[in-house]
Structure 1
């Protein structure tokens, strides 16, 4: 009702008083007060019946299609146990437990109506994706941004995710991001799940060296285990979208809900949540299946001793000094990446005359160019060709 004055109730009372006067032109009054005739006659009838002129609720007296209270309680129980889960995951859990599930829109409305849903910030999620064809072909690895726990200690969560299954292989509360810290955690992971074909990392520490060289002692360690290193394109974190999305889920379902007094308490929470994530939490990208349903350990076992590369007896093999990263070839010293200090490298001719490749096993790490007397820096590890951006 478009009443034009400040007090709606006063306008209604005045309208009704005038309309009930003898000889009043009620339709003309409706026009003057700017209301529809049906609205005007409604207030006149209520006044004649000695009823209040207040607005009445338009809510139906009965809702025969409303979800049963027992089912609502089940939905809210799942949500309360997992506050970051949405309608799809809740529906999947109900069906897996043998209960019927209403439409996803109904579950969403129940969550909204009971104040358990918070609109997600930002726009719709990215839709461009890639996926390996089997487990252990590629593991995505990264540190989630650090968080502060009790006693002003920093917690650096190390995460390793299988690209095909989204199975969380490693979730560790680390005190730092040093090379040896990562190796120590990965040794345990490799013993439990075997070795992947490749790991997918960004260009930060400890995967890259602060001097600008891509090769690090960490990546050389992986090469000795037969694990290739693939780097994402600089400034393209979306290429490691599965691990980035995992970090967002970790933040929503663990860090947003509690604080931790120390790293041990954080690790206890990680271990408990990791079980839920891998074996209970339905994953939308897996058609609401759990990651464990698609993951199998790698048949490539972690060796007891770190192997060294083997070269043919006819090859030119040089040992790199532990103090200066050079190899001696054709009467000169040639620069190689510092990460290969103390290692044995093979020098093999390339298809271009006057050029030789410096190889660590099957991986070319530098190029020697006899025509200009210089070595071409280091040959970096493989840069991802699967970056969507």
Structure 2
């Protein structure tokens, strides 16, 4: 998928949306989009700092800018922290190096992370007790089906959607199946009423995830809307603990 095959800006936007997802393989994405890892990281850095305007072409500037190194490293650290909020400086540094980026000394990484509130226990929204709750509505939504049961000659598949911060039930509706088209139709109604969340978490079953590690059509649709997509760890329902408690309340 070379850059000149489609509009350059739309390709850059699509690349950074995919690359910003939890667990994204940056090198694999770069191969898929026909760009070098250095180019891919450049767009990710600009996206992290400036958003979409940072993806525009800009005039060439001298290679030796006194603030560029620190700014670029900080952008990378912010991107890594967004995916791995509980990691410390040493682990973040090693992970970025494994991704192919040249990093400064550990002390520099640690100081930059401390300065920008990226160290565990200093980042906003991460309580010291280990219980996680986002600090505002629409930061994270949790979504799942609550099983299914006979209903009116067919089956009822209750679709549930919960806001992580407020525990407000955004959606509790009857669905006749668990197909992607059905879920998307319900999500459109929820988005029109409550707006778009920053992130959505689901389990790994259909239609949310794919055991092969490829993105599903539903995930791609959400990412193109600018929503980050995450999945609970297999056999670890605590990841969606608030939704699990909500389901238990429904059952009771």
TM-score, structure 2 normalization: 0.47
Rg larger for = 1
Higher strand proportion:
1
TM-score, structure 1 normalization: 0.31
Higher helix proportion:
2
